[in-house]
Amino acid sequence: MMLSNEDIRAVIDKGELKISPYSSKWLRSSGITMHLGAELLKPRAGYVVDVTKPEPPPYDSVIITQEKPYLLQPGEFLLGHTYQNVTVGSSLGFMIEGRSTLARVGLTIVQTAMMVYPGHSDRPVTLELANHGPNPILLFPKMKIARVVLFELKSPSTERYDDKGKYREQQSVGLPIFNQEIMSDDDFE
């Protein structure tokens, strides 16, 4: 069941969901508005992505400010992160999605990785930013970038993401981590 604004208030009050910083002004009828953090990672072109190797292709860090936003070109892809840190309790499903206003000019903020697992604790959410529109888009820190929808799980999760999730150590925008991306035949028995 998807949570309403009143349900979201209740899970925040109980500590099942923590967002920092948080303002009740960001609460919507069935979601919460999230904002863009200041660090972006820009992948360098000309490298082959090989998921059997532990190293991702190289990325360059870009720090944006109000005076120096990033001009995201059509067809360009970056990694970013939410300005807010998030903690998701064991009874919640947390999905992050783009905002309609930005989608209407071609900006997507998640390609496929919309789920933030229960047990994600006190860190930002990595975003996959891409400009699918015909015009460049300026990216500013703290701009409204995403909407979160929350679901109540039928039963609490017994697995916490931070116990063994591969991105649990990342405290800002995170590079891809390749480990066991290709399974052996034994994994399917």
Residue numbers annotated as active site: 128
Contacts of 29 (CB under 8 A, 6+ apart): 4, 5
| Cα gap 43→175, rounded to integer Å | 10
CB 89 within 8 A of CB 160: no
| Cα gap 62→121, rounded to integer Å | 25
CB 182 within 8 A of CB 133: no
Identify which of 138, 130, 98 has the alpha carbon closest to the alpha carbon of residue 114. Answer: 98
Q: Whole-angstrom distance between the N-terminal and C-terminal Cα of the chain?
A: 34
